[in-house]
């Protein structure tokens, strides 16, 4: 019996040590999780930024004939001017880097243009303002991501130049949405 109790004690000691060692919560030796999202390429940025510019230019041009509120027309004019400049700068970057700038607008953005074209006056203004909030939220995110991920100095300079303009457009669109939504 004495022999059995020594053996039980010995087994209990080993088991306790095993549990104690396995409960060690030392995270110093673990590696941090790896970000598996691939970095944005220069070509991806050019493609997406060109589509964004095209949507802004086309929708901005529509305000002259379809909008009711003077603020919507004014904002539309600003979008045409600013995004035409942006588009030309992007075209020059794409040419210099031998990247392809798409000649057509993606189907999902064309659907937005088609939807806007079917509206007039106040319904157009309300939808236009909502479209601008969404489009500029996406554009700001795109340009921020490109600024952080794309390894090209000319694209970084371009995104750095354009981000304040896009943020101002977003703020203007949010204000416009509140104004025309009333």
Low-confidence ranges of the chain (pLDDT < 50): 4, 7-25
Contacts 24+ apart (CB under 8 A), 64-68: 66/116, 66/117, 66/119, 66/120, 66/121, 66/124, 66/128, 67/121, 67/124, 67/125, 67/128, 68/120, 68/121, 68/122, 68/124, 68/125
pLDDT in the model for residue 19: 43
Rounded (5°) CA angle 160-163-168: 150
Which residues neighbour 50 within 8 Å (Cβ) at sequence distance 6 or greater?
A: 87, 90, 94, 101, 102
Q: What pLDDT sits at residue 50?
A: 98
pLDDT at residue 97, rounded to an integer = 96
Q: What is the pLDDT of residue 34?
A: 62
Give the pLDDT confidence score for residue 129 in this predicted structure: 98
**Domains by residue range for the chain, with CATH:** 42-180 (1.20.1260.10)
Closest CA to 44 of 146, 152, 147, 154: 146
Q: What's the confidence (pLDDT) of residue 32? A: 57
Give residue-wise pLDDT tens across range 43-90. Answer: 999 999 999 999 999 999 999 999 999 999 999 999 999 999 999 999
């Amino acid at each position: 019996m004495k022999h059995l109790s020594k053996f039980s004690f010995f087994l209990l000691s080993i088991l306790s040590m095993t549990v104690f060692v396995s409960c060690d919560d030392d995270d110093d030796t673990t590696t941090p999780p790896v970000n598996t999202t691939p970095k944005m390429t220069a070509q991806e940025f050019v493609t997406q930024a060109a589509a964004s510019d095209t949507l802004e230019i086309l929708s901005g041009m529509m305000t002259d004939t379809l909008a009711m509120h003077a603020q919507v027309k004014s904002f539309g004019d600003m979008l045409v001017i600013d995004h035409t400049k942006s588009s030309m700068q992007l075209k020059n970057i794409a040419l210099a880097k031998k990247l392809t700038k798409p000649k057509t607008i993606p189907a999902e953005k064309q659907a937005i243009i088609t939807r806007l074209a079917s509206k007039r006056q106040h319904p157009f203004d309300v939808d236009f303002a909502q479209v601008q909030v969404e489009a500029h939220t996406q554009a700001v995110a795109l340009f921020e991501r490109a600024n952080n991920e794309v390894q090209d100095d000319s694209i970084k300079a371009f995104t750095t130049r354009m981000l304040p303009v896009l943020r101002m457009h977003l703020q203007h669109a949010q204000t416009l949405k509140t104004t025309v939504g009333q």
